[in-house]
Structure formats: C-alpha cells, structure tokens
Amino acid sequence: MKKVLLTSLLAVFAVSGAHAASVINDNPLYRPDQGMFYSKTSLSSNTNETTAVYLDEEFAYGITDRLAIGIAMSMAENNWFDQSQWGTLGIGINYRLLNMNNWKADLYGSYGVNPVWDYGKSFMDTNETNYSWNVGMRAGYMTDTWTVAGHVDFDYVNTESFNWGDDGWHYLSAGLDAFFTLNENWAMLIGAEYTGIMDDRVENAGKWEGKIGANYNIDDNMFVGAYLTKEMVHRNALGDVQAGAWTILDGLGFGAKFGIQF
C-alpha cells in the first residue's frame, strides 16, 4: 500500500495568525488565540486508487497569541482494511514573528516519525520507520475578504533521529495559497506547491501539486470543506520517462475536511 509522505504532513504547524477572536475557516493565515484548541480532520483518496483512504488529523493549542504547539497524525487503509497503516505521528511549534496590521509571518518547526505501525510490521519497526525534522516560514497579507500567503519548508528525513553524519533525504518545498471569502458562509481556496528532492540518488526528483477547494462556515468556530488536487512529477530517467521530463500523474485527488476550535 502506498505510504503517506511524511515531509508535507508535518508542515501542518505552519498555520499563522490572523487577528484577535480568530475565526476557523481554513484560511492559510489562521491560528488559535491564546487558550484555544483547534482540530482539523481530513479524509482523502484518489480516483486512480479509490480503495485506499487516508485520514489526517491536526490538533493544536494557543499558548499565547504568538505561540502555538500541536500534534499531527495520519492513518491509511486499503481494500476495506485488508491493509492498514498508522503513518505519521509528529509534534510541532509555531511562533509569530510579524503581526503588523495586515502583514503576518510565522516561523515553525516539527519532528515526527513515519510509519508508526505499518501493515505486517511491528510497532515502530526499526527497519521501516523514518524520522523527520522540519523547519519553515510562512508569510502573507490578509484582509477581510481575501488572503495571499506563501511558505518555504526544509525537511530532513533519516532512519535515525540524530544520524546527522549519515546520508538522509533532503526536501525543499515552496508554495503559494490564496483564500477568497465569497459571503458570510462560503469561501474558496486555491494553491500550488513545489517539493524538490535535493538528493541525486532519488529517482523522483520533485513534484508540483495544485489544489482547489470550497468551504462552508457553519459558524465562527466550525467549518466543513471539500477539495481536489492534481500532481505533476519531475523524474530522473525512471522507466520510459526521459531524464528531466515532467509527467502529469493519472488520477485526481479528492477529499473532505472538518475544522473546529474550542
């Protein structure tokens, strides 16, 4: 069964702040206010592999209006639970560097493992589990009706937590998201992200992922949403694909999301 890639998932702590009395609506510049918890739950699949379903969870707490901590977790199943996986478990921290009128900027980092418990493997199997360190920054401009935010992430993944001297996997990601408020209840989100694998020995050198979604705000503390994604990959002489060629992958990703703060 396809494994959930750790690097992108642990960037969930990149949420950055908006303003006092925050409204949770999947705005890329949202963060919880001091003393507030939030949860975002996503369920996704792909039209090319609909028997595989992925469940992702973010849970975080605002220590202050500038500092938040959280955890991330992912699970997956295939063929009606004939195969299953506890993919990612991570912890993260997010700090507001800039909160100047409409301009926002956050610095964040996280640490995680993947997979925690794979199908047919032991818990935290030493031969299967990878460990990841992530650091990144998100910055953007927010108004009452629209938001634009960009981010840059660096991930280091290895078979041991502190094996700095050994070869690992290095990822660099950069993306841009735009959020539009249509009315009191409805909003749209579009975005694109490039993830580059910085190691020549890795066959799949990088990918672009585009996303479009719509959210319905039940109230200031709860929303539901749906989204579609599409991937294009850059390969290094893999199979019959020429070196350096870009290929649009078959299938269309789709999913639903539920967010709540309390």
DSSP state of 34: T
What does the alpha-carbon distance between residue 79 and residue 14 come to, in Å, rounded to a whole number? 33
End-to-end CA distance of the chain: 36
* Residues in Cβ contact with 94 at an 8 Å cutoff, skipping those fewer than 6 apart: 13, 14, 15, 16, 31, 60, 67, 68, 69, 70, 106, 107, 108
Closest to 31 measured CA to CA, from 261, 187, 188: 261
Which CATH number, 3.40.50.620, 3.40.50.1390, 2.40.160.40, 3.40.605.10, labels domain 6-261? 2.40.160.40
pTM of the prediction?
A: 0.85
pLDDT at 236: 56
**pLDDT tens sequence across 163-222:** 776 778 889 999 999 999 999 999 999 999 999 888 876 665 788 999 999 999 999 999
What does the alpha-carbon distance between residue 230 and residue 213 come to, in Å, rounded to a whole number? 12
